């Protein structure tokens, strides 16, 4: 029974990755480089520089996904 749990976990992860890739393929052409760069600059301006850079990246990705 323990093996089935891992199969479901693997299926969930692969489905999540597939959905994210599909969204990126569908909405990718609508994201131009200027908007991404302005978002990165905006996040860096709001950041005091003491936070972890990965957090800024997560914020940028979150803003892109949420619109």
Cα Rg for the chain, rounded, in angstroms?
17
Handedness of CA 9, 14, 15, 16 (dihedral sign): positive
Work out how many domains the chain is built from and give that number: 2
Residues 38 and 24 in one domain: no
- 1-37 pLDDT, tens digit per residue, is 677 888 888 888 898 888 878 777 776 666 666 666 6
Cβ 41 vs Cβ 59: under 8 Å:
no
Q: How many CB atoms lie within 10 A of CB 55?
A: 11
Looking at the structure, do residues 21 and 39 belong to the same domain, yes or no?
Answer: no
pTM attached to this predicted model? 0.38
> 40 and 23: one domain?
no
Token pair belonging to 15? 């489905």
């Amino acid at each position: 029974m323990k093996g089935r749990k891992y199969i479901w976990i693997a299926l969930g992860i692969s489905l999540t990755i597939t959905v994210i890739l599909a969204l990126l393929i569908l909405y990718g052409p609508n994201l131009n480089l200027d908007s991404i760069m302005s978002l990165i600059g905006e996040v860096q301006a709001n950041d005091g520089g003491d936070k972890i850079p990965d957090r800024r990246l997560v914020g940028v990705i979150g803003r892109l996904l949420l619109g």
